[in-house]
Amino acid sequence: MTTEAYADHVHPVLKQPDPPFAYRRSLDSLRDEDSITWRDRSFPDGEFALSDVGKQGWSLLGGDFHFPTAVLKASALERNLRLMQDYCRAHDVLLAPHAKTTMSPDLVALQLDAGAWGVTVANVQQARVFINAGVHRLLIANPVVGESDLTYLTEQRRMNRDLQILILVDSAETARLLDAAMQTHAPGLSRQPVLLEVGYTHGRGGVRTTEAAIVTATAIRGSQNLELVGVEGFEGLMPGRDVYEQRHEAGRFMNWAGDVVRELQIREFLDPRTTLVSFGGSSFFDVVVECFRDQWHGPRVDILLRSGCYLTHDHGVYARTSPFVDQKPPPLPALEVWAEVLARPEPDLVIAGLGRRDVSTDSDLPIPLSLRRHGEIRDAGGMRARAVNDQHTFVSISDDDDVQVGDLMSFGVSHPCTTFDKWRVFPIVSDDYEVIDAVRTYF
């Protein structure tokens, strides 16, 4: 489904067209002005325009790059984009992928080209990146309360009437702060659309009870500059002993969120004809669709998913929890980190030259995937990372495994977000590891 088709369903405040060429034009300007230099680790020496990286004829594994280096595989990105595009089309839902995963305008461009309605960000600092890159539709998936943040957003709305920003509110206090900032910095603008955030016990933001939701909605309705357009929450970190219990708890949370939506509609805080609901990490977004589409009773609601990690998938947490893992074809992990084998100090141990500075360890340790020697790549089956420190990964092997100092070893990651924030530029490679492009991150 195209962005234009998606826009037919959302609240009228958010319907202004977003010309598909506008973002690309801004992005092309950024890329033309951007250079790869010695400041961008792993890349060959010299100075090259980011937009010219694919013309250099580099091979990631052929001696051009320094190690460790993190790469993205083009074929996997394409596969994963199509999977989510097809899913959204089949279930008639909107998508605003969470850009905090990659913080890359280049990768967000791929998601917008594949039909995303806009992007999600975690805070105003992230919003600034994508507003400057030319994005016109954003959801900030947290309350905004800081004076400088509120000033920036209201002034951006005043200067750019095409800019559409959804902001979360989960308390009367937040509503008052946002309303006052609008009144001070952007008087006369149309009302700021907001989503009421719901949460769960021991979770992060969001009201915890239906009564608190009504109190917050009352404060929004009593404001001069805010308009309540829907309900938002995040089910991706539900507690549970395993993925099955987490899915069950996510379903319970969604059912209660649905009760809140109905209550707000009954009390006329929400217009039943244009209610928007936004949920969905990359693990349980199908639970959101089941609740608000497949099992929903009442006036239709428009669903805005915020999944971000679907783009790269991974070899760990999302390999276990993504609703796509049973698809045919399945999603492919796009992100790999390559390093050299620095030492084999013991028969059953090798030391690889990557560590916490290079690869995520917050969910699982890096996963050994393959070894390369003299141009040949073979599987690293049976090998496992046992420990990671700042610059080294300790890999357990069998005594008879053929691993030598100087071999290259690739690793998969679990939870890609915290690998992305360690690298400023990622080579994009073909399946043969020829470098065909590069993308920059803005953390």
pLDDT tens string for the chain (443 positions)? Answer: 344 444 455 565 555 445 444 566 667 777 878 999 999 999 999 999 999 999 999 999 999 999 999 999 999 999 999 999 999 999 999 999 999 999 999 999 999 999 999 999 999 999 999 999 999 999 999 999 999 999 999 999 988 888 999 999 999 999 999 999 989 988 888 899 999 999 999 888 999 999 999 999 999 999 999 999 999 999 988 888 898 999 999 999 999 999 999 999 999 999 999 999 999 899 999 999 999 999 999 899 999 999 999 999 999 999 999 999 988 899 999 999 999 999 999 999 999 999 999 999 999 999 999 999 999 999 998 999 999 999 999 999 999 999 999 999 999 999 999 999 999 999 999 999 999 999 999 99
Q: What is the pLDDT of residue 20?
A: 47
Instruction: For residues 357 and 380, state if they share a domain.
Output: yes
Domain contains 33: no
**ω into 329 cis (within 30 of 0):** yes
DSSP H helices, 186-311, are 210-221, 243-266, 285-289
Instruction: For residues 283 and 336, state if they share a domain.
Output: no
Domain contains 36: no
Q: From the CB of residue 167, how many other CB atoms can be counted at a distance below 10 Å?
A: 25
Q: How far apart are CA 44 and CA 236, in angstroms?
A: 39
**CATH number for 149:** 3.20.20.10
- Domain limits for position 95: 3-25+75-314
Q: What is the pLDDT of residue 162?
A: 84
CA atoms within 13 A on the CB side of 411: 35
Domain contains 145: yes
- Report the number of distinct structural domains present in the chain: 2
Instruction: For residues 208 and 102, state if they share a domain.
Output: yes
Instruction: For residues 222 and 337, state if they share a domain.
Output: no
pLDDT digits (tens, 9 = 90+) for 289-348: 999 999 999 899 999 999 999 999 999 999 999 999 988 899 999 999 999 999 999 999
**Chosen domain end from 262, 285, 314:** 314
Domain contains 396: yes
Q: From the CB of residue 150, how many other CB atoms can be counted at a distance below 10 Å?
A: 21
Q: How far apart are CA 243 and CA 114, in angstroms?
A: 29
Domain contains 320: no
Instruction: For residues 90 and 64, state if they share a domain.
Output: no
Instruction: For residues 253 and 114, state if they share a domain.
Output: yes
Residue of 89, 90, 97, 144 whose CA lies nearest to 117: 97
Q: What residues contact residue 273 under an 8 Å CB cut-off, 6+ apart?
A: 299
Q: How far apart are CA 273 and CA 189, in angstroms?
A: 24
Question: 114-135: b or e for each residue (b if 16 or more CB lie within 10 Å)?
Answer: bbbbbbbbeebebbbbbbebbb
Domain contains 322: no
Instruction: For residues 251 and 350, state if they share a domain.
Output: no
The dihedral built from the CA positions of residue 336, 339, 343 and 344, taken in this order, carries a sign that is positive
Q: What is the pLDDT of residue 12?
A: 59
The dihedral built from the CA positions of residue 64, 67, 73 and 74, taken in this order, carries a sign that is negative
Contact 305, 317 (CB under 8 A): no
CA atoms within 13 A on the CB side of 413: 27
Instruction: For residues 225 and 85, state if they share a domain.
Output: yes
Q: What is the pLDDT of residue 16?
A: 46
Residue of 250, 121, 251, 226 whose CA lies nearest to 176: 226
**Chosen domain end from 264, 282, 314:** 314
Q: What is the pLDDT of residue 7?
A: 45
Residue reference for tokens 């993925």 = 243
**CATH number for 414:** 2.40.37.20
**Chosen domain end from 280, 314, 348:** 314
Contact 216, 196 (CB under 8 A): yes
pLDDT digits (tens, 9 = 90+) for 367-399: 999 999 999 999 998 999 999 999 999 999 999
Instruction: For residues 299 and 337, state if they share a domain.
Output: no
Q: What is the pLDDT of residue 422?
A: 97
Q: How far apart are CA 405 and CA 384, in angstroms?
A: 17
Domain contains 375: yes
Instruction: For residues 262 and 309, state if they share a domain.
Output: yes
Instruction: For residues 83 and 225, state if they share a domain.
Output: yes
Instruction: For residues 340 and 423, state if they share a domain.
Output: yes
Domain contains 321: no
Contact 176, 215 (CB under 8 A): no
